[in-house]
Chain A
Amino acid sequence: MLVVQSLRLMLNGKSIIDDLSLEVNKGEIHGILGENGTGKTTIAYLIMGVNNYKPTAGRIIFEGQDIADLSVSQRAKMGIGLAWQEPARIEGLRVRDYLMLSGNNQGIEQVERYLWMVGMEPERYLDRDIDNTLSGGERKRIELASVLAMRPKLAILDEPDSGIDIVALPLILNGIVEMNRQGSSVLLITHSEKVAEIAHLVSILCAGKIIRTGAPLETNQWFKDNCRTCLHINEPAH
């Protein structure tokens, strides 16, 4: 479904993404596991086409089509959705309207269902604005609900657990699994081995390069043993 080939991004003479290749197959949850500053969010931005990021080299192929020159909305219309690590606040845009436009006006009952899936009571949230009156965790959950509403072919979830309390985390993880069951492939970007456990396959990112890919259990353990204790963050020696 998604094939990233030899992707490079240089910014101000500095290598951010370095010869990165990655495949996300249909029906798969693919985890990208990495410490802070390794380029995880940059990968999400490059695939979605936001933040003015254009690959310096390499290809991003989605369902057989190179999408590197497409606009953000063209990519979204092809079926790619992004849940931002730090979602934007938009004054005056109500939760109900954000989810309705995300879901192409599927109807209020569906919208309510997506809110329940991320552990939010619709009657408490539907008429609130997605502005800075919401806590960081609430805004993150609404972002995930909006990607659920999109029913994308590929959901890119950038640190879906950040800012989420331990009570809500299992709900979020269940929501991601449910999203996958409903047919979305997921690129799950995280720094947490716990979150990566729900993936079918996990790739470890270091200095903009994928240094290892494998089954979650062993890859997560390898990450814990090597990356957590590594004194050379972003200087891959492996």
Chain B
Amino acid sequence: MISYSVEKEYQGMLDAYEKAGGDKSALQNKDIAKLVIHKNRVLSADGVNGIKIETKETKTGVNIHLLVEEGAKIPHPVHLCFGILPKEGLQEIIMKVTAQDNSDVNVIAHCIFPNAVKVIHKMDADIDIGSNARFDYKETHYHGEFGGIEVIPKARIKVGKGGVWQSTFTLSQGRVGKLDYDFEVFCQDKAVAELVVKVYGKGSDDIKVWEKIHLNGVGARGLAKSRIVLSDKAKAEVKGETYGNAPYARGHVDCIELVNGTEAVARAIPIVSVTNGKAKVTHEAAIGSIDRKQVETLMARGLDESEAVDVIVRGILR
């Protein structure tokens, strides 16, 4: 096993963060709230006015409490950086997030496992969004090319009256490995939830995505959107569930899975349920090969077929 000193670990994480598309300067800026965790070590944890970050290292990971204080409008995105640099390791993140009433924050998380051969990354989050608060969470993964990683992000999110939860999970750089994504949102009156997942599976990647939205309040709105591209022998199963349980609740499940090649396997299971006569929930799912007309449209501009497919795949995962 390679051993890393704290300084080397921190520098290594910064470099990997930058390589994965992160803004390294943001992790060094005192005006920006940030949290950098390598394996089970907290390398940096800085709040700013309106944000408190508490951490506790455990044997296998870190327990985190992220608090956005009532009425706080955080001007710069909060940056989170989690990862494991060696080939092997386990990281379990237990996260408690509280966004108090009328707060507003954007959070950008980068999860970095560039050398993973036998790595497990688990996140178990309990998230509470207050009334009229807005929380935008973007999580991007960078996994390297070995595919020896298991990622298990799970979150239970409660959105208070008039609150907004928006999350985008992107895993399109490097191999996915094994992904078991499970996010569940409960919306009160006029709350909004948008769950977006974008994944590019290659090799023998195994992808499971489960998005669940419970529209329990009057006028609550929800969108469960997934965009999956598969090549080689990758397989994916996407479950999108939306439940309209209150008057004027509106929900939609939108799943597209593109299969590039003959051996990849895609499944989509949309579940829409209404228990109130004034609620409305819809779904659309499209699974199939890349649309020939789209490819020919780009080829008619001079792109080769593989270049055209690449443009289409990048577009759908953008």
B is bound to A: yes
Please state if B318 and A101 are interface contacts (CB–CB under 8 Å): no
Q: Are the C-beta atoms of A150 and B312 separated by less than 8 Å?
A: no
Knowing A51-B296, A101-B298, the reply to whether A91 touches B316 (Cβ < 8 A) is: yes
Number of interface residues of B (CB under 8 A): 24
Please tell me if the beta carbons of A90 and B297 are within 8 angstroms of each other in the complex: yes
Are B315 and A73 touching (Cβ within 8 A)? Answer: no
Contact yes or no, A101 B303, CB < 8 A: yes
Q: Taking A90-B315, A93-B315, A101-B311 as contacts, is the C-beta distance between A81 and B301 under 8 angstroms?
A: yes
Size class of the contact patch on chain A: 20 to 34
Does the CB pair B291–A73 fall under 8 Å?
A: no
Q: A88-B291, A88-B294, A90-B294 are in contact. Are A73 and B299 (CB under 8 A)?
A: yes
The answer to whether A146 touches B301, judged by C-beta atoms less than 8 angstroms apart, is yes
> Across the A-B interface, how many residue pairs have beta carbons closer than 8 Å?
68
Closest chain A residue to B304, Cβ basis: A73
Considering the complex, which residues of chain B in the window 254-294 have a beta carbon less than 8 Å from any beta carbon of chain A?
256, 291-294
Determine which of A72, A81, A150 lies in contact with B296 in the assembled complex, contact meaning CB atoms within 8 Å: A72
How close is A145's CB to chain B, nearest CB, in angstroms?
A: 12
Q: Counting CB contacts under 8 A, is A77 at the interface? A: yes
Q: How far is the CA of A153 from the CA of B283 in the complex (A)?
A: 45
Chain B residues contacting A150 (CB-CB under 8 Å) are 301-302
Report yes or no: A102 in contact with B312, Cβ–Cβ below 8 A: no
Q: A182 contacts the other chain (Cβ, under 8 Å)?
A: no
What residues of chain A have their CB less than 8 Å away from a CB belonging to chain B? 48, 50-51, 71-73, 75-77, 81-82, 84, 87-93, 97, 101-102, 104, 129, 146, 150
Contacts from B to A (Cβ < 8 Å): 227, 256, 291-294, 296-305, 308, 311-312, 314-318
User: 13 pairs across A/B with beta carbons < 8 Å?
Assistant: A73-B299, A73-B303, A76-B301, A77-B302, A88-B293, A88-B294, A90-B312, A91-B315, A92-B314, A92-B316, A101-B303, A150-B301, A150-B302
A-B contact sample (14 more), CB < 8 A, given A50-B293, A75-B300, A81-B301 = A50-B296, A51-B292, A71-B305, A72-B296, A72-B299, A73-B308, A84-B297, A88-B291, A90-B294, A90-B297, A91-B316, A92-B314, A92-B315, A93-B311
